[in-house]
Amino acid sequence: MPYLSLLIILPLLAALLVVFLPNRNQTTFRWIALVASLLNFLLTLLLFFRFDKSVAGYQFVEQTDWITLSLGPLGVVSIDYFLGLDGISLPLVLLAGLVLAIGAISSFEIKQKQKAYFALYSLLSASLMGCFVALDLFLFFLFFEFMLLPMYFLIGLWGGERREYASIKFFVYTFLGSIFILLVMIGLYLSVADPVETAVAMGLVPGKELVDANVIADVQNYLQEGRIEADQIVHTFSIPYMAEPGNYLPQSLLNIAADHVLFGQSARMLAFVLVFLGFAVKLPVVPLHTWLPDAHVEAPTPVSVVLAGVLLKIGGYGFIRIAYGLFPDGAIVFAPWLGGLGVLSIVYGALNALAMNDLKRMIAYSSVSHMGFVLLGLASLTSEGVNGALFQMVSHGILSAMLFLIAGVLYTRTHDRQLDSYRGLAARMPGYVTLTAIAFFGSLGLPALSGFIGEFFTIMGAFNSPYLPNWMAPVATLGIVLAAGYFLWTLQRLFFGEFWSKHEAGLLTDVTPRERLMLVPLAALALMLGILPGILLNLTQSTVGEFLKNF
């Protein structure tokens, strides 16, 4: 059963169905997108229960030839439709399935241009899923680039007053980062051979199904000895093959043994920096973060939910799978710099959040701060740090989605997100204040909630890291203190004291059944992961342990 293909195909089919249905079926569009999202979420749960946690390698693998082109003396181009899951990608696939389903429910508030909206939303869902399951770098890049298009229009057409500015800024920042990744992707392709396809091209075996470990070892030896004709070398975009040093051509630009120099610097170190910059925009890392507050403030609530809950995680996933997975030497060399940028993001994001009066902008800057913990954990190159970074990504995805839904509750009622426009809401909205308190306390790292586990492990990893200076972990804890400051201050300003609002009191009603349907599962999951973190850590630890053997 092609489970991973279905994760991509289901939302694509939903998008096509929405496009070809007549415009008079406006209410049908939302139900098509919702059903596709719910089916995808159920499929991710099936993958979770069938996943073998003791296996560090890829599972549910789907691979078939897609593009094969002979270039004569330049070798053969081979691009595969190659999908797979491991303990690093499965938690993020689960997160994406949940958040996209919640976002589809939230999208029921969209009343204008519903056909275009739900078609674009379904396309975005397919692209996001594709990024997390693609194991061919060319295929990953297609999904990575394609998701810019629906997100650009979702912000630009359904956003706030400055939506055009925010959507263009988002597109330009991410597109420039993609160019850096593209340059390195081309360099990797020219440097790496597919040992299986090359064995067939050389005539060592009649078909790929007969290639075993001994044949692969022979091809790698022939490759290093220069005994393979250029027109028999099959180049590849396969991420697993790119992670094997034996598959690199001896004098290729990015071969670790060749130690080539570009512009006076190591070619591999430059490649690592370019890939890092490409994904740092998406995470985002200070100072490449400025598109995020604008995009969040102007985006409609469901788009903000998906942007914070899933889209930012592609930056962290790209660091692990591509930057760290393919350039472990660069990760070690630049570890102190990356850790420093993580600490800077933590503190700078928290200080900005403390100064915000706009609820959505405050949550956006808190995301910058919390994603800084992800970078710090990865920079530590320790089991605690990397597992903590993955846990933090999932935890932040849940809590940030909840936070933007909470901001949306107020905005849909009054079209006002300013904190000084409200006071004493607890008396009129008791259900709302309860759910808000769970999201706030989870985000500030209160024990028994998911935010505590991720931050605890990343800081512990930074303390134990042989690559990071001793001061980084203590300074990072300042972000937790500041988070307590801006979340508790916001809680006090909105909910405590005598009721007062700039708006008509009758508008400020408690959460509706639809809003509870979105918020309560996220709150329950934040509590469950805070009390039983092993549910997630048991998924990641085997793969992370194998991953860290490269360092």
Q: For residue 354, how many other CB atoms are within 10 A of its CB?
A: 18
Domain ranges of the chain: 334-541
Question: E strand or H helix at 255, and its extent?
Answer: none
* Section 87-96 average pLDDT: 96
Dist. CA 284–CA 524, nearest whole Å: 27
Q: What pLDDT is recorded for position 550?
A: 86
Q: Is 499 helix (H, G, I), strand (E, B) or coil?
A: coil
Inter-residue contact 542 to 88 (CB < 8 Å): no
Report the interhelical angle of 89-106 vs 114-133 (nearest 10°): 170
Q: How many helices (H) and strands (E) does the chain have?
A: 24, 7
Q: What pLDDT is recorded for position 205?
A: 84
Mean pLDDT rounded to a whole number for the chain: 92
Q: How do residues 123-173 score in pLDDT, each as one tens digit?
A: 999 999 999 999 999 999 999 999 999 999 999 999 888 889 999 999 999
Predicted TM-score (pTM) of the model is 0.95
Question: E strand or H helix at 78, and its extent?
Answer: strand 76-85
Inter-residue contact 59 to 85 (CB < 8 Å): yes
Region for 381 from its dihedrals, namely left if φ exceeds 0, alpha if ψ lies in -120 to 50, beta otherwise:
left
Gyration radius of the chain over CA positions: 24
* Contacts of range 209-214, beta carbons closer than 8 Å, 24 or more positions apart: none
Inter-residue contact 195 to 216 (CB < 8 Å): yes
Inter-residue contact 480 to 444 (CB < 8 Å): yes
Complete DSSP assignment for 352-382: HHHH--BHHHHHHHHHHHHHHHHHHHHHHTS
Q: What percentage of the chain exceeds 70 in pLDDT? A: 99
Inter-residue contact 479 to 372 (CB < 8 Å): yes
Looking from the CA of 271 toward its CB, the CA atoms found within 13 Å total 28
Q: What pLDDT is recorded for position 551?
A: 83
